Chain A
Amino acid sequence: MNILTESPLYIIAFAGLLHASFQLGVGTLTLLSGHSLGSRRSFSRLMRLNLAYLAGASAVTLMLFASLSYIALFTVSAILPAAWVVVSFLNIAIGGSVIAFYYRRRKGTGLWIPRAMANYLQERTKKTKHSAEAFTLGAGSVLAEVPFLIAPLSIAILAVIAQPSHTGFQLGSFLLYCLIGLLPLMAIVAMVGAGHKISTIQHWREHNKLFLQYCSGGGLIILGVYVLVEKVLPGITL
């Protein structure tokens, strides 16, 4: 198998990109950085917290991808065509709901998550002082967004298990997905470390939130339709 030309890698990369477009993790990291800067923590402390957050998010993303792939390998492989159908419609549905109501209809970048959860995350972020707490926060933010992340993740999982078993390919897929999916978090860590202001980051997020929303939702729909056309329709014999 030529890993450069095989289509699953592109699907996985695109799914990773869609994973990256979701904002809960980015928002939480921005808030964490803001609180850290506001508390006048030392630069090293700030970076430790941010990197711990990133590590937590990466670990959970990797674990989710790997564990769900493993489970899918034994449960779903036999019914792969049906799984593709389910997953493609799941992506289209979640894509539509992202376009309809990902952000709350008011100023700022507040998401359509239960306010109690949002308040809890804000409180926890404010109280985060240790790297371990930041790690847990990163992990938690990924888990909190699973209802949306399941869409690109499911397609990436199926793309991995659809290929003949190849350790290098599988590991490479996991790393590629996580790397692309966590790019925004890495960017925030880099920007904060480089001396950018939280207000600049937040301004950008607020001004471009509609763009991100439509790209994200539209991307999910496109991916779902692509999968439907590429994987499902050829299997249907009239």
Chain B
Amino acid sequence: MNVYVAKADSTAHSQEFDPLKLHHSVLSACYAVRAFEGEAHLTARHVCERVIRWVNTKTEITSADIRRVTTSFLRQYHPEAAYTYESYKEII
């Protein structure tokens, strides 16, 4: 089942959820806190698996939902990366 991500501007079409984009963003968060490559990939994989399992229980979600759920799972594996991932939008 395809899950869609609704845009904040409801006049815009929602986009299909892209697990690769999520994987990349989690990976970036891990690298930003100087995690080792292997550790970062493993963390990203575990987190993405859990997020995808959650996403598959929905039909449409928002990007804020993805961010929140990803942060909560990432916190269990790498709290610093989770903090960075969560606070990216609140730095400026």
Binding site for B on A (CB under 8 A): 24, 27-28, 30-31, 34-35, 37-40, 104, 106-111, 113, 118, 121-122, 195, 197-199, 202-203, 206
Q: For the complex, give the distance between the alpha carbons of A109 and B91 in Å.
A: 5
Segment 41-92 of B: residues with Cβ below 8 Å from A: 80-81, 83-84, 87-92
**Residues B90 and A110 in contact, CB atoms below 8 Å apart:** yes
**Residues B92 and A28 in contact, CB atoms below 8 Å apart:** yes
Q: B34, B84, B87 — which one has the most chain A CB atoms within 10 A of its CB?
A: B87
**Residues B90 and A197 in contact, CB atoms below 8 Å apart:** no
Kindly list chain B residues whose C-beta atoms are within 8 Å of the C-beta of A197.
Answer: 32-34, 80
**Residues B90 and A199 in contact, CB atoms below 8 Å apart:** no
Q: For the complex, give the distance between the alpha carbons of A28 and B84 in Å.
A: 14
Q: In whole Å, how far is B74's beta carbon from the nearest beta carbon of chain A? A: 12
Q: In whole Å, how far is A138's beta carbon from the nearest beta carbon of chain B? A: 14
**Residues B88 and A31 in contact, CB atoms below 8 Å apart:** yes
Pick the contact of B84 from A24, A118, A122, A199 — CB < 8 Å?
A199
Q: For the complex, give the distance between the alpha carbons of A31 and B80 in Å.
A: 15
**Residues A110 and B83 in contact, CB atoms below 8 Å apart:** no
- B28 sits at the interface (CB 8 A): yes
Q: Please judge, given known A-B contacts A197-B33, A198-B32, whether A118 and B92 are in contact too, CB under 8 Å.
A: yes
Q: B33, B81, B83, B92 — which one has the most chain A CB atoms within 10 A of its CB?
A: B92
- B29 sits at the interface (CB 8 A): yes
Query: Can you sample 27 A-B contacts with CB below 8 Å?
Result: A24-B92, A27-B91, A27-B92, A30-B91, A31-B88, A31-B91, A35-B28, A37-B32, A38-B28, A38-B32, A39-B28, A40-B31, A107-B87, A108-B87, A108-B89, A110-B91, A111-B92, A113-B92, A122-B89, A122-B92, A195-B34, A197-B34, A198-B32, A199-B84, A202-B84, A202-B91, A206-B87
Kindly list chain B residues whose C-beta atoms are within 8 Å of the C-beta of A195.
Answer: 34
Kindly list chain B residues whose C-beta atoms are within 8 Å of the C-beta of A39.
Answer: 28, 31
Count residues of chain B with CB under 8 A from any CB of chain A. 17
Q: For the complex, give the distance between the alpha carbons of A165 and B84 in Å.
A: 49
**Residues B80 and A199 in contact, CB atoms below 8 Å apart:** yes
Kindly list chain A residues whose C-beta atoms are within 8 Å of the C-beta of B84.
Answer: 34, 198-199, 202
Q: Please judge, given known A-B contacts A39-B28, A203-B83, whether A198 and B33 are in contact too, CB under 8 Å.
A: yes
Q: Which residue of B lies closest to A23 (CB)?
A: B92
Q: In whole Å, how far is A65's beta carbon from the nearest beta carbon of chain B? A: 24
Q: Please judge, given known A-B contacts A197-B80, A206-B87, whether A121 and B92 are in contact too, CB under 8 Å.
A: yes
6 pairs of A and B residues whose beta carbons are closest in the complex: A108-B90, A38-B28, A199-B80, A38-B32, A34-B32, A27-B92
Q: In whole Å, how far is A125's beta carbon from the nearest beta carbon of chain B? A: 8
Q: For the complex, give the distance between the alpha carbons of A203 and B27 in Å.
A: 20
Flag B12-50 by CB within 8 Å of A: 1 or 0 each. Answer: 000000000000000111011110000000000000000
Kindly list chain A residues whose C-beta atoms are within 8 Å of the C-beta of B90.
Answer: 104, 106-110
